[in-house]
Chain A
Amino acid sequence: MEYILIIISAIFVNNILLAQFLGICPFLGVSNKLSTATGMSGAVCFVITLATVVTYLLNNYLLVPFGLEFLQTISFILVIAALVQMVEIVLKKISPSLYQALGIFLPLITTNCAVLGVALTVVTKEMAFGGPAHMMNLGEATVYAFATSLGYGLAMCLFAGLREHLAMNDVPKAFKGLPIALITVSIMAMAFLGFSGIV
């Protein structure tokens, strides 16, 4: 039951893009076409889940026992950068087709603040999912990270679909490009506010 609550809350209620404002830059950057948006979502999904598990273990078995929590930021970003690099090499070897599909999106993910954001949230913030607030354990953290990245993919693909239609419309000159996109996201975020009563 708790896992279901985590999933619903991470995908809809606290959507990482529309409610937490993490990973906006790639969201605005690659959402011009639905196909690139799906590629990016896939890559982000993969890296967020993997990075959260690794940084969670690093934090709880290395940083906390030695009292080094202040190194979280610096060590997490290094782990993420190394991980992205490794995922790239491994994928190239074992699944060239997936590597082709994700293409240029993989290296871009290091600077996607959604990855570092989720990794830091999981180890620093107490969360309540239908029970008392507590730090997440490894299982919850993994489910939370995966569900969050699904929420990222959902918002990204919905928005890319809208944007493909926007491109064909005649908007006033000053609104062209990003401004009209931001106003569209705003309306989408309003729709997502409607989920806030669920959990």
Chain B
Amino acid sequence: MSKLGLITKGIVKDNPTFVLVLGMCPTLATTTSAMNGLEMGLATMFVLILSNIVVSLVAPMVPDKVRIPVYIVIIATFVTVLQLMMQAFVPDVYETLGLFIPLIVVNCIVLGRAEAFANKNSVVDSALDGIGIGIGFTLSLTVIGIVREILGSGSVFGWKFIPGDGILAFVMAPGAFMVLGYLMVLFNKYLAKK
């Protein structure tokens, strides 16, 4: 696969949210607004790229039997780094995303890419794969966030253009499931047409 293909495949073909359906918990929980979705996507992308790089470096040295625990420790290390950095530089973002930052450790996308891609590809390819899947995840989260923010509070990225309160349910739990469900339908329709 070409280097460019590695980066763009996460957007449609291997989209982690709509096609692979991985990492549903942060997808549903943090997309109450477009900004939150974007921030969560970027945080996950950071861990994804770094863990992909390190996993591809250490993979030849790790015995097959203990590889999953080793990958989890690598991922958890970068998540801790991310937590400390976010607490230092963007404490209010850390506060909003809350529990879902440490939970990147158990996000199946990160472990999934380590297991399915990084452990049998070169460092550069793994880094590009991390960037590609990261972009796909960030885009999906932002789109869900935009839809929920428009319906729920009549604004996009905090810019209010529909006066009034909006439909509260879309900011709350039921709206998350519903928006994801309908976006998945649109995505399926689009894929079927292609």
Residues of A that sit less than 8 Å from B by CB:
18-25, 28, 70-74, 77-78, 81, 110-113, 116-117, 120-121, 124-125, 173-175, 178-183, 185-187, 189-190, 192-193
Contact = CB atoms under 8 A, between A and B. Distances in A.
B25 A183 contact: no
Dominant secondary structure at the A interface: helix
Contacts of A185: 177
14 contacts: A73-B102, A74-B73, A74-B77, A77-B76, A77-B105, A78-B69, A110-B106, A111-B108, A174-B186, A178-B181, A179-B182, A182-B184, A183-B178, A192-B173
B24 interface: yes
Given A21-B25, A22-B25, A174 B76 contact: no
A25 B69 contact: no
A186 B76 contact: no
B140 to A, nearest CB: 14
Given A74-B73, A77-B72, A21 B181 contact: no
A197 to B, nearest CB: 14
Given A120-B99, A125-B99, 6 more contacts: A112-B106, A117-B99, A183-B182, A186-B174, A190-B174, A193-B169
A74 B51 CA distance: 14
Interface in B95-118: 99, 102-103, 105-108, 111
Given A21-B25, A25-B108, A77-B72, A174 B192 contact: yes
Nearest to B103: A113
B29 interface: yes
B21 interface: yes
Dominant secondary structure at the B interface: helix
B79 interface: yes
Given A73-B76, A182-B180, A193-B172, A21 B28 contact: yes
A70 B83 contact: yes
Nearest to A192: B173
B134 interface: no
A189 B174 contact: yes
Contacts of A20: 29
B188 interface: yes
B175 interface: yes
Contact of A19 (B173, B180, B188): B173
B22 A25 contact: yes
Contacts of B55: none
Q: What are the 10 closest A-B residue pairs judged by CB atoms, nearest first? A: A182-B181, A186-B177, A21-B29, A186-B178, A24-B24, A74-B76, A189-B174, A183-B181, A190-B174, A113-B106
B24 A25 contact: yes
